[in-house]
Amino acid sequence: MDVKVKILRYNPEVADEAEWKTYAVTLQPTDRVLDALHKIKWDQDGTLTFRRSCGHGVCGSDAMRINGRNRLACKTLIKDLNPEKEITVEPIKGLPVLKDLVVDMEPFFDAYRSVMPFLVTSGHEPTRERIQSQADRDRFDDTTKCILCAACTTSCPVFWSDGQYFGPQAIVGAHRFIFDSRDEGTEQRLEILNDKEGVWRCRTTFNCTDACPRGIEVTKAIQEVKRALIFRRV
């Protein structure tokens, strides 16, 4: 089928302003948006720039705004996008655009790194594994699925208007350890998120949950962290 793909192009080496460009591509309905971008780059315009790696939704490189919604290009099928109309593709919002669909990921990773996203323990390590029941393991399963694609954080209206806000992903990253029965860093992590740019900025618009390509219940995780802060226990 013949599809029109409209892409927001930006290259500061060439022009100061971003501009829309439309490409005509022949695709299968089951092709992914990433296939469309590759066809454009490989057959029409080699300057089109985007990140991608695994190509099947596990590496988190190719989050972008497709028809106004944050998604992974490699996980979005053309047939699911109403392809009779133009498909629009633009960079995720709220992070500085560096070229075409490539944004500066450093502020995003900074937020993640700032919530102590690693297991904190004290005392001697056991000889064998730490014992954890499957029920305790299941408690934080949902937030272990995060691939750091930034689809959630860059769909959040609070993050758009306030770049200081940690954003949903960082809270998901903290949640994964706060609710891990082996972890002893909860107090410190909760204190970090108690900051005025922490969990309390969340307005529960659920954009993040809708955007997550891994199906993580992001808003729920944020609410659980808020509750843990109020009651000081997990």
Partner 1 sequence: MQRHQYDVVIVGAGGAGMRAALESSKRTRTAVLTKLYPTRSHTGAAQGGMCAALANVEEDNWEWHTFDTVKGGDFLVDQDAAEVMCREAVDAVLDLEKMGLPFNRTAEGKIDQRFFGGHTRNHGEAVVRRSCFAADRTGHMILQTLYQQCIKQNVEFFNEFYVLDLLMVNGRSTGVVAYELATGELHIFSAKSVVFASGGFGKVFRTTSNAHTLTGDGMGIVWRKGLPLEDMEFFQFHPTGLAGLGVLLSEAARGEGGILRNKDNERFMERYAPTVKDLAPRDMVARAMANEVREGRGCGPDGAYVMLDLTHLEPAHIDAKLPDITEFARTYLGVEPYTEQIPVFPTAHYAMGGIPTNIKGEALANNDDAIPGLYAAGEVACVSVHGANRLGTNSLLDINVFGRRAGIAAAEYAATAGFEDLPDAPETYVVDLVEGLRNSTGQERIAAIRADLQATMDLNAQVYRTEGSLKQALVDIEGLKQRFANVAVQDKGKRFNTDLLEAVELGFLIDLAEVLVVSALARKESRGGHFREDYDKRDDVNFMRHTMAYREVDAEGNINIRLDYKPVVQTRYKPMERKY
Measured CA to CA, the distance from residue 49 to residue 11 in angstroms comes to 9
Nearer to partner 1, 145 or 220 (CB): 145
Nearer to partner 1, 57 or 198 (CB): 57
Least Å distance, CB 26 to partner 1, is 15
- CA–CA gap between residue 171 and residue 138 (Å, rounded): 18
Tokens of 231: 């009651």
Q: How far apart are CA 179 and CA 141, in angstroms?
A: 9
Closer by beta carbon to partner 1, 93 or else 145: 145
Six token digits for residue 224: 């659980």
Of 65, 62, 81, the closest CA to residue 73 belongs to 62
Q: How far is the CB of 76 from partner 1 (least distance, A)?
A: 9
Nearer to partner 1, 63 or 156 (CB): 63
Distance in Å from the first CA to the final CA of the chain: 52
> Which residue, 15 or 24, is less far from partner 1 as judged by CB?
15
Minimum distance from CB of 13 to partner 1 (Å)? 5
CB of 175 to partner 1, least distance (A): 13
Q: Write out the two tokens for 108.
A: 């995003």
Closer residue to partner 1 in complex, CB, 111/158: 111
Q: Which ranges of 8-105 does DSSP label H, i.e. alpha helix?
A: 33-39
In the numeric block, the tokens 């970090």 are attached to 192
> What's the min distance (Å) between Cβ of 164 and partner 1?
20
Binding site residues, partner 1, CB under 8 A: 11-14, 30, 38, 41-43, 45-47, 49-61, 75, 77, 98-100, 102, 105, 109, 113, 116-119, 121, 125-126, 128-134, 136-137, 140-141, 144-148, 177, 180, 182-183
Cβ atoms of residues 101 and 51 within 8 Å: yes
CB of 48 vs partner 1, minimal distance in Å: 8
